[in-house]
Amino acid sequence: MRVKAFMGTVIAAFALLVLFVLFHPNYRPVWKGVFERKALEDPILEVTYFYVGQGDATLVRDVREGGKVMLIDAGPIPEVEQFVTAGFLKGTHHAEVTIAPFLREEGIERIDYVVVSHKDGDHIGGIPYIVENFDVGLVYDNPTRITGGLIDEMYSAIRDKKETDLVVGYAGMEIDFGEDILCQFVGPLREYRGTGSDENNNSLVLRITVGDVSFLMTGDMEIPAELDMLSYGEKIHTTIVSAPHHGSASSSTRPLLNLLKPEIAVISVGRYNPYGLPDFDVIRRYEALGTEIYRTDLDGHITLVTDGINYRITTERR
């Protein structure tokens, strides 16, 4: 009887494990590492979403000869990452140990554009290091006027680099990124005040289009900014979206997702983050649309390459 009871317990535990693996939102099947539509004819644009812990950093580059390079945010510094992980993990200077080595390995010495989506530490922490150690042409700042701490360090680094200019981005502004590539800020659509998350809602939102393939870089925009984006109508339909605010419940609203109808969602999020991100309901919203989900905490760096017709996805961890 004891043996039967023991075996029953083992079977029940195994069944629970199977259910956890199949339905837990953090589970990623090991065979889901590479996704390819068709062979690419002549690649034009490559987008790499870095794993930078609980933060954001994205590299965009025209892979044709003489093509331009853009970095959107640069992740946190150790102090910021230690704070957001509640001390569970040792902080990492991702600009120094992750982004910079990647750029150098790829032979990238000049970054034509740096985009500051907004001024939270998990997005701008590494920007001073990037500005100080690379040839940076133009920095696009979001429109809020706040100072202090890491923000002052960022502005100081930009001022000290004589060849680097700073401008404020706004909806409708285009970035000259190369032939056949439309690169335009589509948000914020107004100045957000009193929303409870003003800095997040005032994130610069960037849309990049190459032929039939489009990317939407969303920063940390939340519900007020997302609802305003609905005014674009079908024009905002997007192939690949970076999930706003790391997959937080405050973002990725159903009205916006129903309008975007993304084929791919990339969620930049840290392993073991204390916020429980990405939010379970957010994952389900994307899944309900048939959107393929990739996550930096599970997949590591995520790279998409497109020729304007097809695209190929590869991940660091397969």
Average pLDDT value over all residues in the chain: 88
Residue 194 backbone phi and psi in degrees, to 5: 75, 20
If one compares 92 and 190, the residue with the highest pLDDT of the two is 190
For the cut 60, the answer to whether the pLDDT of residue 60 exceeds it is yes
The band of 50, judged by pLDDT with boundaries at 50, 70 and 90, is very high
On whether residue 216 sits in a domain, the answer given is yes
Note whether residue 27 is domain-resident: no
Q: Is residue 171 part of a domain?
A: yes
- Coil, strand, or helix at residue 140? strand
What pLDDT does residue 82 have? 61
CATH number at residue 143: 3.60.15.10
In a domain, 14, yes or no: no
Q: Is 193 a member of any domain?
A: yes
Give 226-268 pLDDT, tens digit per residue: 999 999 999 999 999 999 999 999 999 999 999 999 999 999 9
Confidence at residue 37, expressed as pLDDT on a 0 to 100 scale: 44
Domain that holds residue 222: 34-315
Is residue 25 a part of any domain in this protein?
Answer: no
Total domains in the fold of the chain: 1
| Number of other CB atoms surrounding residue 278 within 10 Å | 26
* Residues 36-51, mean pLDDT to the nearest whole number: 84
Q: Which of 104, 127, 92, 73 is nearest to 242 (CA)?
A: 73
* pLDDT computed for residue 274 by the predictor: 83
